[in-house]
Structure 1
Amino acid sequence: MKTNIIHTLVVCLTICLLLFVEACSNQDDSQPEGGGNASLYLNITTIGQTRAELKTLSDNEKMHSVRVVVLHPNGTVEHNRFYSLDGPEEEKKLLLKVTPDETKKIFLFANEESVTHVEGVSTAESGTTESLSLTAFFGSYSQDAPGFAEAVNNLYFAPDYSDGKPIPMSSMYEIEVPKQGAVQKTFYVVRVATKFTINFMNWRSETVTVNSLSIANHADKNFLMAHVKDTEQNKKLFNGETWIEWLKEVSGASSESDSYEETEAAGWLKDYELPADADNKKTYTYPTTITVNPANVDIKYPTNSEPGKAQTPPIFYLPESMNLKAGATDGEQEYTLTIHIAEGENQKTFNCPLRNLKALFRNTHVVVNITLKNSMEIVVDVIPYSEVFLDPIFGLNIKE
């Protein structure tokens, strides 16, 4: 028996650009907090999807809490403020008074409560590495405490995306504050997670059961802050911007086009780091079987025919990962999808390398469409932005 497996890929990286509202009456805090003659107006926003069917984020992808840490030029803490939100939100507006005429680092975090154990850090108070929660780590840095930037950049953890836990998010910006007046800016927080959506379309006349589904070679630990390398490869990719600015612009442009060529031309962020003791050979196995109903075939009017459909419920999340492809010289990565399916007494295992998933950087959304065709043949399409079906651009035929 011969089996044809076709693979194509695209990754959803989309950003919703929310405009900052200048009026103080629209701020969550009517008066600036802290002391100083200058102010920061912060619109803290999640990175979200902009395509029509992806606009609604699930609650675990929104902010349930926000923390803002502002540092003086000498690295000491000016503000370390935590905000518990009334419910899941996609943005939070804040107003802070700050010391004027300084270049400040602003660290932003969301959903710290989901991280109960961190590694690689020392507290400001004890100066020793110890087991503690992310909230306890933040709580050890009071006003004027030194060393926050170095400590938080060394911090890493094993993400737990189970039971709908809010996904941790982070980012860092450098801002010039004038001698007087206000600085207003939209800041994006980036999810420390990658997202997978698997769709099944069954064109067979029989019900198909997916007994198991797995993704091989992902990592088990992530840094809280993205460790994007300052290399020539990244400098060329970002073209004078920060990696967050690059991500925002590339994602905004790709949300308006389903062209894989344009997505590929935008490039891949491949030059980043994972914690030294991260295991990047983990295999995720989907926890339940998936039943895909048979196709509804209209012989008289074939265009009215529809496949049986199913989706991985829930959508699942994996850590930011880096599994280098054998022989790659530019950091290209490779991940493998394995599925075991049954149609009656017939059973078959398919190993499907996702050929064009070239990196699995944080906040990546991988949408995979699997079409089940006649006999024991499948077609695996990973398509641009999940809105339209395109002819495969890259293919691989595998025969037994």
Structure 2
Amino acid sequence: MLLKLKYGIVALVLGVLLCGCSIYSKEGDIPVAENTSKVKLGVSVALTDGAAFLGLQSRGPLAEAVSDGEKMQTLRIIIVRPDGTVEHNRYYDFHQVPTTYFATAQFEVVGGETKKVYLFANENTKFDSGRKVANYDFAAIKVGEQFPTNDITGQDIYTDTDASLIEVNDAQTQMALPLFMSECHNVYVPEKQDKNVELIIVRAAVKFTFRIINTSNEPLALNQLTISKLARYEYLLPKDVVYVTEPSEDGTTITYIESYKVPMPGNNEHYNFKAAFADKTVPGNGEVVLDPIYLLESNYNDDPSTVGRNYKISLTVGDETYENGYFNNLTALPRNTHVVVDVTLNGKLTGLDCVVRVYPYGEYWLYPEFGQ
């Protein structure tokens, strides 16, 4: 499926080191040939809302990480030579000081070749059932041996419940945090010359933030939120992603995702995510920001008649359920995007006004017919 979706990706120049932080790293290295070059890898994780890095005048709302669960707490950097030999497999643990920026890794490598650099963060995250989100033993990848390319690229993140990256236990939703993150880069290292690179790593999730605004004088009780349709599977690493860079209106450049793949073709075996609220009230003339919801990326290729009919939400207020029409402009949700949904409850509750903004690829406004 060819997908054109503007999605901001930024290679940040990292000048800030983690001074004063307690960082533990370990690695088994192999001797390198003579005439090696040094590669300095600076790894950045852009906030899920990347508007500030796209030349926009201001960052999107609710852009900050709401908890350490959205930051890197561990990081693994694996460098692989063109023949598939693992040159380095280094693991960092900084869970005591979680971060969105890391720029301290330096490696001695063979020069004059293009290497693959794999990045994995928060690899130990588990669901409440004890199953790891990334169900693979990255520590078992040995330096000097062949990198298990097929095993890694074929790995899925999946859920067997109606909540991706979230598992349901006794009707209580529990977020699997910290969020798993990953990416793979091709890096050319010149012969007999040092090289510094700045790489990105992306959260393997779509973050939803709902802001409920009550314009009436009376408090309103929220009972349930439903989002459809969500995928049950995604790849461990971004799969067959095509990035396109083109000039923006302000003279800078913007990089966006043109296409990407998901494990399940067609409808991804989709489901409806439901969040029930035991005691959630929006005060009169006030607003409430719901706890973030983290779901898997999705990309649909249903029957042509369903194009543009992928995502919609409904909200139960008191005894009434209000549902919006499909977001016709929103055909897919790649990982590391932040969906901010502003829902306004009017005084007579004849309907809901809903505006959806999707980041980090700039402001993307959707105007669904909500409650009509």
Give the TM-score category using the shorter length. Answer: 0.7 to 0.9
For the Cα contact (< 8 Å) 1:221–1:278, is it kept in 2?
A: no
**Counterpart amino acid of residue 59 in structure 1:** D
CA distance, structure 1, for counterparts of residue 358 and residue 157 of structure 2: 31
* C-alpha displacement of 1:374: 3.3
1:382 to 339, 356, 359: 356
CA distance, structure 2, for counterparts of residue 280 and residue 144 of structure 1: 40
For the Cα contact (< 8 Å) 2:79–2:117, is it kept in 1?
A: yes
- Match in the other structure for 1:179: 191
1:272 to 261, 265, 288: 261
RMSD, aligned α-carbons: 3.9
- Match in the other structure for 2:107: 96
- Match in the other structure for 2:42: 43
* C-alpha displacement of 1:332: 4.9
Q: List per-residue Cα deviations over 1:251-276 (Å, max 9, x = no partner).
A: x98xx9xxxxxx9xx87645422246
For the pair 1:315 / 2:292, whether they are aligned, the reply is yes
CA distance, structure 2, for counterparts of residue 102 and residue 21 of structure 1: 26
Q: List per-residue Cα deviations over 1:2-54 (Å, max 9, x = no partner).
A: xxxxxxxxx9956665323499x99989xx97644211101111021331654
- Match in the other structure for 2:123: 112
CA distance, structure 1, for counterparts of residue 183 and residue 226 of structure 2: 30
Secondary structure in structure 2 of the residue aligned to 1:150: helix
- Match in the other structure for 2:93: 84
How many residues get paired? 328
For the Cα contact (< 8 Å) 1:66–1:110, is it kept in 2?
A: yes
For the Cα contact (< 8 Å) 1:337–1:354, is it kept in 2?
A: no
The structure that is strand-richer by fraction is 2
For the Cα contact (< 8 Å) 1:203–1:372, is it kept in 2?
A: yes
Listed as ranges, the gaps of 5+ residues in structure 1 are: 1-10, 118-130, 257-262, 296-307
Secondary structure in structure 2 of the residue aligned to 1:179: coil
For the Cα contact (< 8 Å) 1:67–1:110, is it kept in 2?
A: yes
Q: List per-residue Cα deviations over 1:135-186 (Å, max 9, x = no partner).
A: 7521222122224222210111225343461111111111111111211111
Q: List per-residue Cα deviations over 1:304-354 (Å, max 9, x = no partner).
A: xxxx21111x1111111234465369x756112011112xxxx32112133
Secondary structure in structure 1 of the residue aligned to 2:333: coil
- Match in the other structure for 1:191: 203
Secondary structure in structure 2 of the residue aligned to 1:355: coil
**Counterpart amino acid of residue 185 in structure 2:** Y
Normalised TM-score (structure 2): 0.75
Question: What does residue range 95-244 of structure 1 map to in structure 2 within 5 Å?
Answer: 95-115=106-126, 134=134, 137-158=137-158, 160-161=165-166, 162-163=174-175, 165-228=177-240, 234=242, 238-239=243-244
- Match in the other structure for 2:320: 348
Q: List per-residue Cα deviations over 1:184-239 (Å, max 9, x = no partner).
A: 1110001100010111111123221111101122012221111135xxxx5xxx44
**Counterpart amino acid of residue 282 in structure 1:** Y
CA distance, structure 2, for counterparts of residue 55 and residue 350 of structure 1: 27
Secondary structure in structure 1 of the residue aligned to 2:201: strand
User: 1:332/1:53 Cα in 2 relative to 1: closer, same or farther (>3 Å)?
Assistant: closer
Between 1 and 2, higher relative CO (CA 8 Å, sep ≥ 6) is seen in 1
